[in-house]
Chains A and B, each alone.
Chain A
Amino acid sequence: MPVDESLAESRRVLEICNACGYCNGFCDVFESAERRPTLNEADLVHLANLCHACRNCFHGCQYAPPHPFLVNVPRSLARTRYRSYLAHAWPAALSGLLARQALAAPLIALGAIALLVGLVLVLVPPEVLFASQAGAGAFYRILSWEAMVLLGGLPLGWSVLAIGLSLRQYWRLTRTEGAPLSTRAIGAALRDILVLRNLRGGGPGCNDLDDRFSHARRRLHHAMLHGFLLSFAATVTATLYHHLLGWEAPYPLLSAPVLLGTLGGILMSLGAVGLAWMKWRADPEPSAPETRGLDLAFLGLLFLVAVTGLALLVWRETAAMGLLLAIHLGSVLAFFLLLPYSKFVHAGYRAIALLIEAIEHAAVSRQ
């Protein structure tokens, strides 16, 4: 479906929503659409990224198929959202990675792991690689700290730049003219992200699998997000230990980096498996089939990073450590490389959409 067709369908559907308004208690999309009666491209892209795909507005719709109006808000907005990921990818030439994610993500992950395993096989003498290592600096006997920083830092730097440019372009398209950014709005947006208010369905939960209400998807997403943040915190504390205190990894089981990382890894793994299971079981009607690859590939990637990290922890004092370290670093490398060309980008666009809503809300309540 070409871009303009997805936009035209989202516009057609949301015009019906604007004349109806019954769903305005479920999430922020419907009130926001009412404030944007012209529903131009920027409006539709904003609304599509504001939509958390909770599905209540599909199962509760008096105009959903088989009604001849064929209103399917979650599917229409999923298509427009997906198109916006492709349209804002930087550089544009790499947007194909997003479009062919089901192929690209496994290939890049395999390639990165193969690269790291190959590297340690070539560079590290077998008697070191396959010996059980213990004590401070054990990991660096396999791969030097400098090599790790280089392998992680370069792709991460690139990805941060690419995402930053995409977000800047997106912000310029969808921001509200004349509404000032305030700390209060930023606070409100952060709260919406952390509690996933728009995945509460106005209170009873969302139609995660079918027309029954549930809080499962919100909880699994919490596990995923907070697991990710804990793992990130583990990395930051480990860096501080290394630089400020001069303590070298691996750290003891009861140290902050290990505790944070373990909990984070477990939460991420549970979140990824749970969310993938929901995709498998959920009624496919209110979703867009072409976005499935993107969603599942990202869950797979997160699962790979989390599980290889946990495996490294469990077997770090055995002869398998060297290869496990290479495999884990390879998955992290693939994850870093794919950040701007994976479902990860939804985080930034969703955050901006929530920020725009918070800004508009602040402007309305001031009046």
Chain B
Amino acid sequence: MTEPDVLVIGGGTAALCAAISARRLGASVLLAEQAPKGLRGGNTRHSRNLRIRHESLTPLSSGPYPEEEFWSDLWHATGGTSDPTLARILVQRSAEATDWLANAGVPLQPTSSGVLPPSRKTAFLLGGGTTMLNALYATAKRLGVEIRYGGEVRDPRIANGRLERLLYQDAGTARTLAPRAAVACCGGGQANRDWLRAHWGETADGFINRGTPFASGEILEALLRQGARAVGDPKRAYLVAVDARSPADDGGIVTRIRCMPEGIVVDANGRRFRDEGGDTASTRYAIWGQRLADCPGQIAYLILDARGRRAAPPSLYPPIAAETIERLAARLGIDPGSLAATLAGYNAATRAPDAGADEADWRTFDLDPPKSRQARPLIEPPFAAYPMRPGITFTYHGVAVDAQTRVRLRDGGVIENLFAAGMIMAPNLMGRGYLSGLALTIGVVFGRIAGEEAARHAGG
């Protein structure tokens, strides 16, 4: 292992974009990915699309997505928490992202493939994030980036506004590195149970980590300890409803449960607690994640009848099923009388839509909480249930950066040779909320900037 001009910490989108960009400017680059090769790439492995500005129609999307619309979407989704300078850079330079990726060998899926959900605002990666990673790793290797798997970078030392050294450790070696510049692209700490527990208490025990088990937050935490300025809030996380039977880490996209309007959602006591028909926007996934985190034991059950089950999308695991609602309750460990009473009360309150009205217009009357849409009675056996838990995707906690992605210090100034890109700095752009495809775009746009700036710093 040689002492590189630029050390890139991490192995996902931002890390690869940074490594390739730095190498193209002539710097020697070492990319240290903590995961083994077969699980490389952080949460990029589970990604599918990226949000891009485009002023005219392109083969990758169904219509234009102009700058001001992207800007306003970002502003509304994040509740105005974006750093305006960084947000403007993100929106403007997102327009180059797909060309840059294609040029680095990444295949994109045109809308003419005829099999994509209609999307005007995001472009799809052919085969998803893992295919993109394969292409980017191959390009990085071809350009001469040194790639190390399975080793951990830790203990960054910061003094006088400079990163002085770090420790690199793997099964065989432990050595100090003192690169001229470093780029931290190693995400947040959502896979670190101790870290989650420190911020969420016992609630964290009910979480399932949807993504990479390697998001330990080690570098993030160390940088904050050494005086880097924090952005966001460690107690805020992007949570979606996932199947409670999913593995503790890395279940990805297939663990999502997303057909709440087809049934009713009850907590461990067998009682409904929210309007299951109320949310139709794309934010509905995250809304249910947060609601599950607030449930006793962080668990709830989506109850379907046979009709609802037919309407539900394919799932990783088949739902738990039983001929009667009481037997289903027993299988779920819920008091049968309580669940049966909830269901009877719900069924009695449902009303069919007026003749000629929208079929989805079934609603409940005089029920608390109400179900405002799709409130069909659940009467056709067998009954089925998906147990659900909050699935953590990322936390809104990171390091503050300036327009060159240099890490900012708490008491003013920046660390002149330490840059950050990707989810470790994403809270600069979204302190809350999410827009589909935003994480990848942040990775590409700021990964490129960080790599170029790091190479310039190392060379100058």
A261-317 CB contacts (< 8 Å) to partner B: none
Are A15 and B129 within 8 A (Cβ)?
Answer: no
The tally of residues in A whose CB lies under 8 Å from a CB in B reads 33
B126 touches A204 (CB 8 A): yes
Answer yes or no: A22 CB below 8 A from chain B CBs: yes
Q: Is the interface of A mostly helix, strand, loop or mixed?
A: loop
Measured CB to CB, the nearest residue on chain A to B49 is A22
Mark interface residues in A1-38 (1 if CB within 8 Å of B CB, else 0).
00000000000000110111011111000110010010
The answer to whether A16 touches B254, judged by C-beta atoms less than 8 angstroms apart, is yes
Point out the residue from A30, A62, A65, A202 that lies within 8 Å of B130, measured CB to CB. A62
Q: Choose one: A16, A22, A34; the contact of B128 (CB below 8 Å).
A: A22
Asked whether any CB of chain B lies closer than 8 Å to the CB of A171, the reply is no
B-chain residues with CB within 8 Å of residue A31 when the two chains form the complex: 115
A26 to B116, CA, bound (A): 12
A25 x B127 contact (CB < 8 A): yes
Q: Which of B162-170, B245-253, B323-331, B334-342 contacts A (4 or more CB under 8 A)?
A: B245-253
Decide: A37 near B314, CB < 8 A? Known: A19-B254, A67-B39: yes
Chain B 30-68 per-residue mask, 1 if CB under 8 angstroms from chain A, else 0: 000000101100000110100000000000000000000
Among the stretches A53-61, A76-84, A94-102, A151-159, the one at the interface with B is: A53-61
9 more A-B contacts (CB under 8 A) besides A22-B253, A59-B131, A66-B39?
A16-B254, A19-B253, A19-B314, A19-B316, A22-B48, A60-B130, A60-B134, A64-B38, A212-B134
B115 — nearest CB in chain A belongs to which residue?
A: A24
Once the chains are docked, how many angstroms separate the CA of A24 from the CA of B109? 10
Asked if A63 and B252 sit within 8 Å, CB to CB, the answer is yes
Q: How far is the CB of B173 from chain A (nearest CB, A)?
A: 23
Minimum CB–CB distance for B147 against chain A, Å = 14
Q: Chain A nearest CB: distance from B383 CB in Å?
A: 20
Q: How far is the CA of A272 from the CA of B46 in the complex (A)?
A: 38
Contact B127 A23 (CB under 8 A): yes
Q: How distant is B270 from chain A, measured CB to nearest CB, in Å? A: 27
In whole Å, how far is B7's beta carbon from the nearest beta carbon of chain A?
Answer: 25
Residue on A nearest B41 in the bound complex, by CB: A62
> Is A68 engaged at the interface, CB distance under 8 Å to the other chain?
yes
Q: Which 7 A-B pairs have CB atoms at the shortest separation, nearest pair first?
A: A22-B128, A60-B131, A60-B127, A18-B314, A19-B254, A211-B134, A25-B109
Are B128 and A62 in touch, CB under 8 angstroms?
A: yes
- Count CB-based A-B contacts (< 8 Å): 85
Tell me whether A61 and B107 are in contact (CB under 8 A): no
* B253 partner, pick from A20, A34, A202, A213, beta carbons under 8 A: A20
> Separation in Å of the A55 CB from the closest CB of chain B?
11
Residues of A with C-beta under 8 A to B129? 62
Question: Is A203 at the interface (CB under 8 A from chain B)?
Answer: yes
Candidate in A15, A18, A20, A25 with the most chain B CB atoms within 10 angstroms? A25
Complex CA gap A30/B247 in Å reads 24
User: For the complex, what is the distance from the CA of A23 to the CA of B131, rounded to whole Å?
Assistant: 10
Offer 14 A-B interface pairs, CB within 8 angstroms, sorted by A: A15-B314, A16-B254, A20-B254, A23-B127, A24-B115, A24-B116, A25-B109, A60-B134, A61-B130, A62-B46, A62-B253, A63-B254, A67-B39, A68-B247
Residues on B with beta carbons closer than 8 Å to the beta carbon of A34 = 314
Give A contacts to B, CB under 8 Å: 15-16, 18-20, 22-26, 30-31, 34, 37, 56-57, 59-68, 201-204, 211-213
CB of A56 within 8 A of CB of B253, answer no
Residues of B within 8 A of A62 (CB): 45-46, 128-130, 252-253
Report chain B residues within 8 Å CB of A18.
Answer: 314
**Which chain A residues border B38 with CB–CB below 8 Å?**
64-67
Task: Flag if B115 contacts A22 (CB, 8 Å).
Answer: no
In the bound complex, residues from chain B placing their C-beta under 8 Å from that of A213 are 107
Asked if B313 is an interface residue, CB under 8 A from chain A, the answer is: yes
B113 within 8 A of A: yes
- Select which of A16, A59, A65 is within 8 A of B134 by beta carbon: A59
Q: Are B128 and A60 in contact (CB under 8 A)?
A: yes
Q: By the criterion CB–CB under 8 Å, are A25 and B126 in contact?
A: yes
CB within 8 Å of A: which B98-148 residues? 107, 109-110, 113, 115-116, 124, 126-131, 134, 138
The CA-CA distance from A65 to B38 in the complex, in Å, is 7
CB distance from A252 to the nearest CB of B (A): 49
Output the nearest chain B residue to A71 by Cβ-Cβ distance.
Answer: B254
Q: Within 8 Å of chain A (Cβ to Cβ): is B315?
A: yes
Q: Measured between alpha carbons, how far is A30 from B113 in the docked complex, in Å? A: 13
Which of B39, B131, B247, B250 lies in contact with A56, CB distance below 8 A?
A: B131
Out of B110, B127, B128, B315, name the residue touching A19 (CB < 8 Å).
B315
Q: In whole angstroms, what is the CA distance A25 to B38 when docked?
A: 23
Q: Which residue of A lies closest to B114 (CB)?
A: A31
Q: How far apart are B209's CB and chain A's nearest CB, in angstroms?
A: 13
The docked-state distance in angstroms from the alpha carbon of A202 to that of B114 is 11
Hey, which chain A residues are within 8 Å of B134, CB to CB? 59-60, 211-212
B-chain residues with CB within 8 Å of residue A68 when the two chains form the complex:
247, 250
Between B38, B116, B127, B134, the greatest number of chain A beta carbons within 10 A of the residue's beta carbon is seen for: B127
Check if A23 sits within 8 Å of B113, measured CB to CB.
Answer: no
When the two chains form the complex, which single residue of A25, A57, A211, A212 contacts B113, counting CB atoms closer than 8 Å? Answer: A25
Q: How far is the CA of A61 from the CA of B48 in the complex (A)?
A: 12
Q: How far is the CB of A18 from chain B (nearest CB, A)?
A: 4
Would you call B126 and A211 a contact (CB within 8 A)? Answer: no
Select one of B45, B128, B252 contacting A23, CB under 8 A.
Answer: B128
The answer to whether A25 and B138 touch across the interface, beta carbons within 8 angstroms, is: no
**Cβ contacts under 8 Å, B253 to chain A:** 19-20, 22, 62
Given A24-B115, A212-B138, A213-B107, A203 contacting B126 (CB threshold 8 A): yes
B436 to chain A, nearest CB (A): 14
Point out the residues of chain A lying under 8 angstroms from B36, CB to CB: 66
Residues in A whose Cβ lies below 8 Å from that of B45: 62
Q: How far is the CB of B101 from chain A (nearest CB, A)?
A: 12
Query: How many whole Å from A36's CB to the nearest CB in chain B?
Result: 11
Contact B127 A26 (CB under 8 A): yes
Residue of B with least CB distance to A205: B107
A contact residues around B254 at 8 Å (CB): 16, 19-20, 63
A204 to B105, CA, bound (A): 9
Residues of B within 8 A of A20 (CB): 252-254
